[in-house]
């Protein structure tokens, strides 16, 4: 007699590992949820618009404790699966909004990237399935988290152009995991403008609250 046991695996939240209820409202628009309702609510989408330099910037979340913990799990612990959770609910909208752009990820120092095994910015934004363009490289292992506001404004001296790349006439979306002072994004956009990008926008996964810009981020 054939078994009546279900062969459908129970999905588990990638943050708290609790089983995800597949019969709630979310299942109507997301048949493959990555987060439970509690963790999804705790992420608290921010949807913040601002101008950095002369470029329009958009951030999905405020950098609060939940996002900080998840980002540490991705970057510090090398949990690659965590990368999928940040944009998952908003991929259709973001793909539609930026469908004609190429993505230029914020660079990380090559040795650090090799030690981790991946670039966390690419890991987060590959969910959009838009083309990447590695136009900018980082020449030093300097970490923004170790710098204060004034020092961060000089981050541009550690960024160089990848001479094998051509962005002339292209619409470019500079993407990063975290905006703090915006110094890296601004320096990158200056390089993109210098190399004749047609249009430049900035998209960050999270934004540090304005009153914490001068603090060191752990």
* Structure confidence at residue 138 (pLDDT): 85
Token couple for 136: 């900018």
Print pLDDT tens along the chain (218 aa). Answer: 454 444 556 788 899 988 887 655 555 556 678 888 889 899 999 899 999 999 999 999 999 999 999 999 998 898 999 999 999 989 999 999 999 999 999 988 676 766 778 899 999 999 999 999 999 998 876 665 555 555 555 566 778 899 999 999 999 999 999 998 898 999 999 999 999 999 999 999 999 987 655 444 33
Q: Which ranges in the chain are annotated with CATH 3.40.50?
A: 45-212
SS3 assignment for the chain: CCCCCCCCCCCECCCCCCECCCCCHHHHCCCCCCCCHHHHHHHCEEEEEEEECCEEEEEEEECCHHHHHHHHHHHCCCCHHHHHHHHHHHHHHHHHHCCCCEEEECCCCHHHHHHHCCCHHHHHHHHHCCCECCCEEECCCCCHHHCCHHHHCCHHHHEEECCCCCCECCEEEEEEEEECCCHHHHHHHHHHHHCCECEEEEEEEEECCHHHCCCCCC
Give the model's pLDDT for residue 6. 47
Would you state the pLDDT for residue 146? 56
What are the beta bridge partners of residue 55?
A: 52
CATH placement of domain 45-212: 3.40.50
Partnered with residue 176 across adjacent β-strands are 204
């Amino acid at each position: 007699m054939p078994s009546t046991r279900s062969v459908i695996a129970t999905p588990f939240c990638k943050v708290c590992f609790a089983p995800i209820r597949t019969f709630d409202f979310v299942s109507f628009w997301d048949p493959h949820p990555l987060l439970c309702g509690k963790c999804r609510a705790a992420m608290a989408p921010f949807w913040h618009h601002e101008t950095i330099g002369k470029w329009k910037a958009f951030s999905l979340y405020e950098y609060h404790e939940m996002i900080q913990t998840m980002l540490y799990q991705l970057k510090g612990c090398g949990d690659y699966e965590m990368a999928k959770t940040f944009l998952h609910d908003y991929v259709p909208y973001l793909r539609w909004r930026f469908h004609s752009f190429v993505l230029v990820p914020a660079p990380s120092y090559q040795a650090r990237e090799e030690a981790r095994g991946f670039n966390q910015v690419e890991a987060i934004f590959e969910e959009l399935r838009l083309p990447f363009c590695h136009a900018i490289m980082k020449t030093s292992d300097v970490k923004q988290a170790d710098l204060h506001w004034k020092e961060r404004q000089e981050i541009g001296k550690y960024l160089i152009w990848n001479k094998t790349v051509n962005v002339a006439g292209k619409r470019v979306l500079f993407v990063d995991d975290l905006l703090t002072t915006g110094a890296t994004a601004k320096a990158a956009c200056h390089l993109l403008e210098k190399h004749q990008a047609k249009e430049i926008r900035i998209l960050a996964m999270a934004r540090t609250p304005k009153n914490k810009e001068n603090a060191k981020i752990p």
